[in-house]
Structure 1
Amino acid sequence: MTPGGGEGVEVHHAHPTRDVDEAAVRAVVRVVCEGEGVVAESVGIVLADHATVHDLNREWLGHDYETDVVSFVLDEEARARGALDGEVYVDLDTAAERAPEFGVTMAHEALRYVAHGVLHLAGHDDATDAQRDAMRALEDRALAAAGI
């Protein structure tokens, strides 16, 4: 497999009323992986709602508040072999609420969350202002490369 390969990407449409184009989701995952020099060995992207993402954030991360995206690395050793194995849960409700603030569509904002989540799987963090700025630049680059 070559970096960026999307063979192991599964997109799950779990929101009752909102959705994002699956080809666009896959394109964003592919370009993030290419940029990181990794393969999406087994990456699940779940397009969900407030309740789902909030519940996961509270249960698994100990944060009792809504958030735009949560990521879970399922196989830490995968990175050592240049692969990603994890899940990304995207809150489409938050994307719809925040999109007007940035002058973008709900889909564009949701795809930014996809990029952000996959960057977390690849090992990036956003705990500091500098890290957040670096991730934002990588998200911008991924969205542009994916034609978003």
Structure 2
Amino acid sequence: MIDVHPAHDVRVLDEDAVRHVAEAVCEGEGVRVASLGVILGDHRLVHDLNREWLGHDYETDVVSFVLDEDALGRGEVDGEVYVDLDTAVERAPEFGVTWEHEALRYVAHGVLHLAGHDDSTPPEREAMRALEDRYLAAAGV
């Protein structure tokens, strides 16, 4: 089950679009959803989580947390994705897209992390970007 939780005071992202993107990633990666929460927050929420749980004291676009470390071994994702809608608004013009499109990219990125992908090196970042593009297109974004 994919649960979408709006947690921003002002911005609203289409929850069906969020689910479609997450479903496209899971289908394409060959994983089932055990449990997936997508929380649509702001700078403060995502920054606080990034600092508290990952030890990174800076704003970021998305953070993902695996809730069951054994889920991927069973072909499942079990986790949470926190999307910073404020960062999407700020960065979207840089890429010539709407903030909604940019935020949905963050959803795809976060779910890819839960599906086992990493982006710590330039080749990994390039590969993840290509996967994001593929799954956004598959979801009709």
Question: Deviations for 1:30-58, whole angstroms, at most 9, x for unmatched residues?
Answer: 00001110011100000000000000000
Aligned length: 141
Give the AA of the match of 1:135: M
Give the AA of the match of 1:35: G
SS, match of residue 70 in structure 1:
strand
Show the counterpart of 1:44.
37
Structure 2 CA distance for aligned equivalents of residues 33 and 87 of structure 1:
14
Are 2:95 and 1:102 aligned?
yes
Question: Deviations for 1:75-97, whole angstroms, at most 9, x for unmatched residues?
Answer: 01111111100000000000000
Show the counterpart of 2:138.
145
Show the counterpart of 1:10.
3
Gaps in structure 1 of 5+ consecutive residues: 1-7
TM-score normalised per structure 1: 0.95
Structure 2 CA distance for aligned equivalents of residues 19 and 139 of structure 1:
21
Of the candidates 78, 83, 88, which is equivalent to residue 81 of structure 2? 88
Structure 1 runs (4+) deviating above 6 angstroms are none
**After the TM superposition, which residues 95-134 of structure 1 pair with which residues of structure 2 at under 5 Å, given as runs?**
95-134=88-127
Give the AA of the match of 1:68: D
Give the AA of the match of 1:112: R
Identity of aligned residues (%): 74
Give the AA of the match of 2:48: D
Are 2:48 and 1:60 aligned?
no
TM-score normalised per structure 2: 0.99
Structure 2 CA distance for aligned equivalents of residues 46 and 134 of structure 1:
25
For residue 74 of structure 1, report the CA deviation from its aligned partner.
Answer: 0.4
Structure 2 CA distance for aligned equivalents of residues 9 and 134 of structure 1:
25
